Amino acid sequence: MHHTRPAAALAVLSMSACLLAGCSTGPEGDSGRAQASPVAARAAHTPHIRLNAADGQKHVSVRRGGRVTVAAGKITKVSLATANGRVVHGAVSSSGRTWAPDAVLDHDTAYRLTVVAAGAGGREATKGIAFTTVAASDRFTGTFTPGGGSTVGVGMPVSFTFDKAITDRKAVESAIEVGSSSGQAVVGHWFGPRRLDFRPQQYWKAHSVITVGIHLDGVKGAKGAYGEQDRTVRFTVGRGQVSTVDASAHRMTVVRDGKPLRTLLITAGAPNSTTWNGQMVISEKLTSTRMDGATVGFAGQYDIPDVPHAMRLSTSGTFVHGNYWGPDSVFGHSNISHGCVGLNDVKGGGDSHQDGAWFFDNSLVGDVVVVRNSDDRTIAPDNGLNGWNMSWDQWKAGSAR
């Protein structure tokens, strides 16, 4: 039986064919013949080999330096060997478009890489390079907090500390992407050449998920400083808790998700050792720790081996912690500490009903503690994770992007 195509289908097919052939219509409406350029036709079928190093390049990444990607074709042969002839084995992907070594390359080693690929119609392309990988001594690493998988408070910045001074701050900052499921814009700020923090304008939205993409592999941060890290980590923001200490009223009000949760009686810094004012972030929680005055400029004034329920607020030694050695009468009435915020507690910290234990159990790293009405200045933004004490304009001015 003879079938006739519908006219509409023929029209669509004709137009598709015309577009594919690059047709043109003359003044009389006649279709011109497709004039395919021989050069264009060759280019369309010639595979394109992409490598992660240039010929003669030094300081090449040990993770990416030997990898191969091919467009408009498939890999037919890869040869990767050290300058002294040791062969590096690898595998082609199922698509035939990528090849990777079985293991990372050696540091400070010369390699020769040759790739052959075939395109449609059997047209071949070959590319060969020689390169040298980065020396182990020329690496830099960024340690960061918080860790992947953790749950933190709304004030927790993403803070990187680099083991070498960074001179190309823009390259390093641009290789780290921090985003939030809340959609909040996140900006980096450099505290000197070794520290880079990221935060939004306001505290993180409660229950949001923060994604940190660390793509430093191959990034030159300074002379003799090349990154190798390439990973993505995620952490979760918990409920929103901000506690405000009124040093003159000797009280701390704990507010969770906008609602007052509890008011605790405290003792803050004595007149000759006042507590910093400002927004401080809990950076560490210690069930018990030793506090020696000699480490913070108060040698001989105290050395307590078992301070319970200690939560760090500054690098310089400010904590919120349980206090079992002060008489009950000082809490809510007078300031006797050497700069910390003290809560009533018992030796050993074993009584969960004590204020020190309660606050410890109900706090997360990343929670905010705001101190007001202390006879002292505002804490420095880089003393701990306390960049919230800068205006948003000041914070953005410290970005290298």
Query: Would you please indicate which residues are annotated as catalytic (active-site) residues?
Result: 321, 340
CA distances from 115 to 23, 141, 246 (A): 37, 32, 69
70 and 113 Cβ atoms separated by less than 8 Å = no
298 and 338 Cβ atoms separated by less than 8 Å = yes
DSSP-H helix ranges across 178-302: none
Distance between alpha carbon 79 and the CA centroid of its chain, in Å?
36
247 and 269 Cβ atoms separated by less than 8 Å = yes
Between CA 315 and CA 195 the distance in angstroms is 14
Between CA 344 and CA 327 the distance in angstroms is 9
What torsion, rounded to 10 degrees, do the Cα atoms 50, 51, 55, 58 define?
150
Helix (H, G, I), strand (E, B) or coil at 318: coil
Between CA 205 and CA 199 the distance in angstroms is 12
Helix (H, G, I), strand (E, B) or coil at 245: strand
Contacts of 184 (CB under 8 A, 6+ apart): 200, 201, 202, 204, 205, 208
**Pairing verdict, β 176-180 and 158-162:** unpaired
Question: How many alpha carbons lie under 13 Å from residue 344 in its C-beta half-sphere?
Answer: 16
Of residues 273, 163, 153, the one with CA closest to residue 222: 163
Between CA 337 and CA 330 the distance in angstroms is 10
Place of tokens 């000699």: 294
Beta bridge partners of 189: 197
Between CA 136 and CA 385 the distance in angstroms is 31
CA angle 196, 319, 179 (to 5 degrees): 30
